[in-house]
A and B are shown apart, each in its own frame.
Chain A
Amino acid sequence: MNESTKPAILLPTRASLRAWLLAEDPASRRQTAWGELYRGWCRFAANRLALAGLVAVLLLVLVSLAAPLIAPYNPYAQDLADRLRPPSAAHWLGTDELGRDILSRLIYGGRLTLGMVVAVVALVAPAGLLIGCIAGYLGGAADRVLMRLTDIFLAFPRLILALAFVAALKPGVVSAVIAIALTSWPPYARIARADTLTIRNADFIAAIRLTGAGSPRIVFRHIVPLALSNVIVRVSLDMAGIILTEAGLGFLGMGAQPPAAEWGTMIATARDYILQQWWVPTAPGIAIFIAALSFNLLGDGLRDVLDPKAR
């Protein structure tokens, strides 16, 4: 083989990649999957607010992950001579009642907040989805039992349950996560069950039953993927609520304990200073607001993309 017949390495140009993704007739499963993802992304990105929400959430995640690299000070380092300083060049958001840098505590606090949210969602969403789909598909006794279970947990107000947990275990991040998770899963089960009830009477499910597939295969392979979109939407909309609940628990002293830099706890320990040194409780408050708002915008955007009825 001489020089002229050596194959050149073709790097995909942007235009050719886009053409491949948007091809009307994909030639492989991978191409279809990527194409659908790309189309969904285009629809999502057309919504400016949703895009802003996504960017904000990604920034939050990045900042939290890079905390040791970004935070100017140690979040636990106290300097009582320097307490309650207003924002300045040395401390961009000032210092709190123990002289700790508020900006650093916010950045590290983001880790706790987002970590707790992810922990809750990772517990709650799969459990709710599965319970709802199984109950909806099987019907009968299984449905009744699972739905009564759902009703029981739905009846508990979150904060009261958290207080009960604190009495049983010790206050802290773990009990807060468990308490929130235990009271958050019922709505997902209901949503998944409602979707399943609609889907299971469809002809395509009948067609799959006619292949001789058993119930587990039908539920996990065919129904769960359809019920997933509504659950994802609900999750992203709920994240804001979870953040607020965590903050509330932290404020009541039920969540992360001091000296942990959790946003809610930061507001609680600084509430005496709200009138004079307003920046101390306000900074974490604004952080909570921005985080909740970003997740809300992201959730709205996801719903517009994923909700089949909105198409």
Chain B
Amino acid sequence: MITVEDLRVRFGGFAAVRGVSFAVGKGKSFGIVGESGSGKSSVLRALAGLIRDWQGSILLDGAPLGTHRPRAFFRRVQMVFQDPYGSLHPRQTIDRQLAEPLLVHGIGDIDARIPRALDEVALPANLRFRYPHQLSGGQRQRVAIARALIAGPDALLLDEPTSALDVSVQAEVLNLLADLQSARGLTYILVSHNLAVVAHLCPLIGVMLAGELVETIGVDDLRAGRIAHPHTANLRALAVELEEV
């Protein structure tokens, strides 16, 4: 469904992404794992259209995307951000923020859709008119997911969606993402520095190092240790070593 070919992103003189290529099928999940500075977030932001200055090609269902995205693109592809405290407007109620995508796309029936959206992410209806600062981090992230889904996209770009959450809340959100994917047939591209989280949700994983995609590996191969690139092996060893008590 989404194909990326030789994507390059520069920030001034610095090459953040140097020729990354991968493809994600419809309804599938692709994970990108890498440390800070590896360029993984830049790949996602270029996909989302938040970064205008990129080279290479990005194809959505075979059709190439330009640097400027038409509004119809945003009905098909949405993004969930890392920081639940920064991704919601501090002065707008949850209700208003969930209504925004519907208003922009001219989707009607707002008053009925909002409670449905809250229900889908297992948030109680009484939170509807609260402000973000009255919600916990996990609740805010659920609102962010509800906002991303409310206009009915086909694909979600997830930028470290659970990195800022407590482990117990992370487990709930990961379960929620898995449930939503099977219920709606969503395509996921998940970016994280946490290999265990990526391996949990994504059958296919890309490993990024210094702007390059050094390996693309299936999750079974990763678990079994059939790894080609030393950086991947290093990440796996660290994850395994530190996850057992």
Chain B interface residue count, Cβ-Cβ cutoff 8 angstroms: 37
Asked whether A155 is an interface residue with its Cβ less than 8 Å from the other chain, the reply is no
Q: Say which residue of A27, A203, A210, A225 sits within 8 Å of B91 (CB atoms).
A: A225
On whether the beta carbons of B129 and A203 are closer than 8 Å, the reply is: no
Asked whether B226 is an interface residue with its Cβ less than 8 Å from the other chain, the reply is no
Closest-by-CB residue of A relative to B127 is: A25
Considering only residues 119-149 of chain B, those with a C-beta below 8 Å from chain A are: 126-127, 129-131, 134, 144, 147
State in angstroms the CA–CA spacing of A207 and B101 once bound together: 10
Q: Say which residue of A26, A27, A209, A222 sits within 8 Å of B89 (CB atoms).
A: A222
Q: Say which residue of A25, A202, A209, A211 sits within 8 Å of B129 (CB atoms).
A: A25
Asked whether B219 is an interface residue with its Cβ less than 8 Å from the other chain, the reply is no
Shortest Cβ distance from B192 into chain A, in angstroms?
16
Most chain B beta-carbon neighbours within 10 Å: one of A209, A212, A213: A212
Asked whether A290 is an interface residue with its Cβ less than 8 Å from the other chain, the reply is no
Chain A interface residue count, Cβ-Cβ cutoff 8 angstroms: 25
Most chain B beta-carbon neighbours within 10 Å: one of A29, A31, A211, A217: A211
B81: chain A residues at CB < 8 Å are 203, 206-207
On whether the beta carbons of B93 and A213 are closer than 8 Å, the reply is: no
On whether the beta carbons of A203 and B83 are closer than 8 Å, the reply is: yes
Could you count the A-B residue pairs with CB atoms below 8 Å apart for me: how many are there?
Answer: 75
On whether the beta carbons of A204 and B50 are closer than 8 Å, the reply is: no
Asked whether A226 is an interface residue with its Cβ less than 8 Å from the other chain, the reply is yes
Chain A, interface SS category = helix
On whether the beta carbons of B129 and A27 are closer than 8 Å, the reply is: yes
Given contacts A206-B50, A211-B74, A222-B89, A29 and B96 within 8 Å (CB-CB): yes
Binary interface profile of B, 100-133, with partner A (CB < 8 Å = 1, else 0)? 1100110000000000000000000011011100
On whether the beta carbons of A211 and B101 are closer than 8 Å, the reply is: yes
Asked whether B32 is an interface residue with its Cβ less than 8 Å from the other chain, the reply is no
Q: Say which residue of A25, A32, A204, A213 sits within 8 Å of B104 (CB atoms).
A: A213
A259: chain B residues at CB < 8 Å are none
Q: Say which residue of B50, B91, B129, B144 sits within 8 Å of A31 (CB atoms).
A: B129
On whether the beta carbons of B129 and A207 are closer than 8 Å, the reply is: no
Shortest Cβ distance from B37 into chain A, in angstroms?
18
On whether the beta carbons of B89 and A204 are closer than 8 Å, the reply is: yes
Leading 3 A-B pairs by shortest Cβ distance: A212-B71, A25-B126, A26-B129
